[in-house]
Amino acid sequence: MNKEKGFETRVIHEGYDSSYHHDSLAPPLYQTSTFTFENAKQGENRFAGEEEGFIYSRLGNPTVAMLEKRMVSLEGGEAALAFGSGMAAVSAVLFSLTKANDHILCSQGVYGCTFGLLQLMNEKYNIDHSFSAMDSEEELLNKIEPHTRCIYVETPINPTMQLIDLEMVVSVAKKKGIPVVVDNTFCSPYLQRPLELGCDIVIHSATKYIGGHGDVIAGIIVGKEDVIATIKMTTQKDIGGIISPFDAWLLLRGLKTLPVRMDRHCESAEKIAELLKNHPSVEKVIYPGHSNHPQYWIMKKQMKKPGGMISFTIKGTKEDSQKVMDELNLIKIAVSLGDAETLIQHPATMTHAVVPAEFRKKMGIEETLLRLSVGLESVDDIWSDLNQALSKISVGTATENV
Ligand SMILES: *Cc1c(COP(=O)(O)O)cnc(C)c1O
């Protein structure tokens, strides 16, 4: 299926041809570790790459291949690889692009475990990194070093919801010949497609919006044929962080409703963000859909919609923000995001607890910051739960009842 078909069609049909699978409507689950050869010669030919066909599920599996093909189409790339977690994907990419004494330039904020991985790469393999606001060409040029081998970007940045202008980053990186890697987890390909803007590799924690139902941990990367082939034959095959066929099957199912789910996530988040802004217990709401968001113009430029994630600080202390969480009934306290259930977490003590306090402060992760992943429940129910919880802290008055 080619790109002329709409996104909403490709999430359902791309990568699967039922005529090869007994006309099964749903893609079959090839839950197998290995594949048998008709004879020794066929085995030899497959290993030599002289004959197409599967060998062993760490090297490829039909159900996983369907998922990868679908993701290639959705992100507008040439090839994709699925992994057993988002972090398996991140590490396979970063270890593939770097060797000892190289340098990675990273956006000001990154997912907590990506931050941890960068520390580990530095301590064990002397692969250095630094952080940049990436808010202008000059800033970026200043931070690029002679040994920079990768520019690693999250946008929106988790959990501070700052945005980075990908076109600007690409224009600088191209001049320097440095690949740009984007963690697109918060957007999914429905809202943002970095490869179409010239970026080189897109990474997803498919655990989040791609799966969408909170029942699988997985990662996916998409990019050009040659770079993906290298990762497949090195840091994927030999380190081995592959996805299980069953998890790939769940993701194929989840993807079918991605646009429908994203539309609802975004619609509800816009409403909740507006209501939060006016709640007396709330100090500040950070949502890319607000026209006073400092990078609202970037949202307009590179995102289809502002997304389903909201960060906000409350008036009060760290304990007050924890009390708000404890007072919630419908909304669940949990890390992760992009699920049908609305989830709330406290980045300073949860997802970003590994980040040193001083650096957290620099990133803008305050002790009263809460991150909300707006789910698919009735938006009235989500708001009334939030509203009653926020009104229980002393600074908040209960004047804002719906
Ligand atoms: C969750 C997440 C990851 C890590 O993915 P896992 O599937 O948990 O390994 C990476 N980046 C972002 C932005 C995430 O939200």
pLDDT, residue 1, reads 55
**Dmax over Cα atoms in the chain, in whole Å?**
78
Instruction: Tell me the CA–centroid distance for residue 52 and ligand 1, in Å.
Output: 33
Look at the block and give the residue holding tokens 């409350």: 314
Is the same domain home to 152 and 81?
Answer: yes
Q: Ligand 1 within 6 A of 109 CB?
A: no
C-alpha 278 – ligand 1 centre gap (Å): 31
Mean pLDDT by 10 residues, the chain (402 residues): 83 96 97 98 96 96 98 98 98 98 95 94 98 96 98 96 98 98 98 98 98 98 97 95 98 98 98 97 97 97 98 96 98 97 97 89 92 98 98 66 44
Tokens 């002393």 belong to 394
194 lines ligand 1 (CB under 6 A): no
Which residue among 93, 111, 216, 221 has the greatest number of ligand 1 atoms within 8 angstroms of its CB, and so is best to mutate? 111
Are 283 and 243 part of one and the same domain?
no
Residue 398 counted as domain residue: no
Ligand 1 atom nearest the C-alpha of 90 is 10
Residue nearest atom 6 of ligand 1, based on CA coordinates: 86
- ∠ CA 272-277-278, nearest 5°, is 105
Question: Contact at 8 Å (CB) between 114 and 183?
Answer: yes
* Cα distances (angstroms) measured from residue 135 to each of 138, 162, 288, 366, 380: 9, 10, 16, 21, 37
CA-based radius of gyration for the chain: 22
Report how far ligand 1's centroid is from the alpha carbon of 110 (Å): 10
- Whether 307 is in the pocket of ligand 1, judged by its Cβ within 6 Å, is no
| Contacts of residue 9, Cβ cutoff 8 Å, sequence gap at least 6 | 1
95: domain CATH number?
Answer: 3.40.640.10
**Together in a domain, 208 and 292:** no
In a domain, 316, yes or no: yes
Residue 402 lies in a domain: no
For 302, the domain range is: 259-391
Distances in Å between the Cα of 278 and the Cα atoms of 274, 312, 397 are: 7, 12, 12
Is the shortest distance between the CB of 339 and ligand 1 below 6 Å? Answer: no
Nearest CA to ligand 1 atom 4: 86
- Please give the sequence-ordered ranges of beta strands (E in DSSP) within 240-320, or none if there are none: 282-286, 309-314
169 and 147 Cβ atoms separated by less than 8 Å: no
Provide the pLDDT for residue 400. 45
The CATH number assigned to the domain holding 270 equals 3.90.1150.10
* CA 346 – CA 372 distance, rounded (Å): 9
